[in-house]
A and B are shown apart, each in its own frame.
Chain A
Amino acid sequence: MYKKVNGYFTVEAVYLIPIVLLLYVLVIVSGFYLYDRCVISQDGYLLAFRAGHFSDSAENYGEIIYADMPEEIDESYIRDRFSDRSKVYPYLREGELKIKVQNEEVMVTVSGFRRLLSVNKSVLRQNPIKIIRDVRRKNHGSEIP
């Protein structure tokens, strides 16, 4: 019950352990960095893709696609969802989010952790309703040529 365990460092270990610990920490931190970069890239692309389509994405309302897409996109849709994610991803804390619509493209730039992590995603805006209508018109009412 009163067993005792060794509580010492040898002199050489005092010099080696900090290096070993530093390596461990570097591996763990780079693992977090890569994981965060992957999920932030995926989220950025997906949110830009979806926000480019929606005409109305009010809270608790669902996302609606109308045929007449407005010129501007609902930026709050992306911002709300990224603000939730910053609580989960350590590298996104104190992050900065820029959204721009240019030449039918939605561009989402996310940078965090003193700009150490920076992800830029751009997605072409497409209106699925318009595409289906065009195909039907071309094929005389049918979706299959």
Chain B
Amino acid sequence: MEIHEKIGFGAALILTALLAGQDIREKRVSLFVIVLSGSIALLYLAAGERLELVSLCFRILPGALLLFTALLSEEKIGYGDGAAVLVLGLWTSGIFCLSTVSIGLLLAGAYGTLLLLSGKKNRRIPFMPFLLTAMEVMLIYV
């Protein structure tokens, strides 16, 4: 792993950890933190001369898909999750981001099943803690 990748993964981990804390407490995440982190990620990419249009499209694709799904489903998933995944993609890569979201959804699905089995329907699940766990799984095992 190259140094710029390590910095990117580190920044993504810090961002996800920050948002996970907020998400558990309030089920809401700070837009300011997401926008600030996204801006820094763009500047970081530009400084390293890695800001190419095709690569950028791949990076933001998973987040954009989640935001689009949030729009279509009338916020069955929060816009905050989509925006956070979008910034996560900027710091890491499109494939890493998509894999992380898939693992996160798997973990959230298992938790959702437990909730359903215990009779707690119509509950809202904070997604960022699962995304953080998924990132750690990806970084440690994959």
Which one, A5-13, A52-60, A95-103, is touching chain B? Answer: A5-13
A116 located at the interface, meaning its Cβ lies under 8 Å from any Cβ of chain B in the complex: no
Q: Which of A1-26 contact B (CB under 8 A)?
A: 1-18, 20-21, 24-25
Q: Looking at the assembled complex, report how far the CB atom of A1 sits from the nearest CB atom of chain B, in whole angstroms.
A: 6
Q: Given contacts A2-B32, A3-B31, A4-B29, are A9 and B22 in contact (CB under 8 A)?
A: no
A13–B82 Cα distance when bound, in Å, is: 13
Q: Which of A93-112 contact B (CB under 8 A)?
A: none
Q: Tell me whether A6 and B27 are in contact (CB under 8 A).
A: yes
A122–B83 Cα distance when bound, in Å, is: 49
Closest to B26 in A: A4
- Counting chain B CB atoms within 10 Å of each CB, the highest count among A4, A8, A24 belongs to A8
Of A9, A16, A28, which one neighbours B125 at CB under 8 angstroms?
A9
Q: Looking at the assembled complex, report how far the CB atom of A115 sits from the nearest CB atom of chain B, in whole angstroms.
A: 22
Provide the residues of chain B in CB contact with A13, threshold 8 Å.
Answer: 73, 76-77
Q: Tell me whether B28 and A6 are in contact (CB under 8 A).
A: yes
Q: Tell me whether B102 and A18 are in contact (CB under 8 A).
A: yes
Which one, B43-51, B105-113, B133-141, is touching chain A? Answer: B105-113
Closest to B107 in A: A14
Q: Tell me whether A25 and B81 are in contact (CB under 8 A).
A: no
Q: Looking at the assembled complex, report how far the CB atom of A65 sits from the nearest CB atom of chain B, in whole angstroms.
A: 37
Q: Given contacts A3-B32, A5-B29, A5-B83, are A14 and B22 in contact (CB under 8 A)?
A: no
- Count A/B pairs, Cβ under 8 Å: 108
Provide the residues of chain A in CB contact with B105, threshold 8 Å.
Answer: 14, 17-18, 21
Provide the residues of chain B in CB contact with A24, threshold 8 Å.
Answer: 65
Provide the residues of chain A in CB contact with B78, threshold 8 Å.
Answer: 5-9
Write the B47-86 contact mask toward A (1 if CB under 8 angstroms, else 0): 0000000000000011001100100010111111101100
Q: Tell me whether A10 and B83 are in contact (CB under 8 A).
A: no
Q: Given contacts A21-B65, A21-B101, A25-B98, are A9 and B77 in contact (CB under 8 A)?
A: yes
Provide the residues of chain A in CB contact with B126, threshold 8 Å.
Answer: 7-8
Q: Tell me whether A7 and B125 are in contact (CB under 8 A).
A: no
A13–B124 Cα distance when bound, in Å, is: 10
Closest to A15 in B: B109
Q: Looking at the assembled complex, report how far the CB atom of B74 sits from the nearest CB atom of chain A, in whole angstroms.
A: 11
Closest to B32 in A: A2
- Residues of A in contact with B (beta carbons under 8 Å apart): 1-18, 20-21, 24-25, 28
Question: Apart from A5-B31, A6-B81, what are 5 other A-B pairs with CB-CB below 8 Å?
Answer: A8-B127, A9-B127, A14-B108, A17-B76, A21-B101
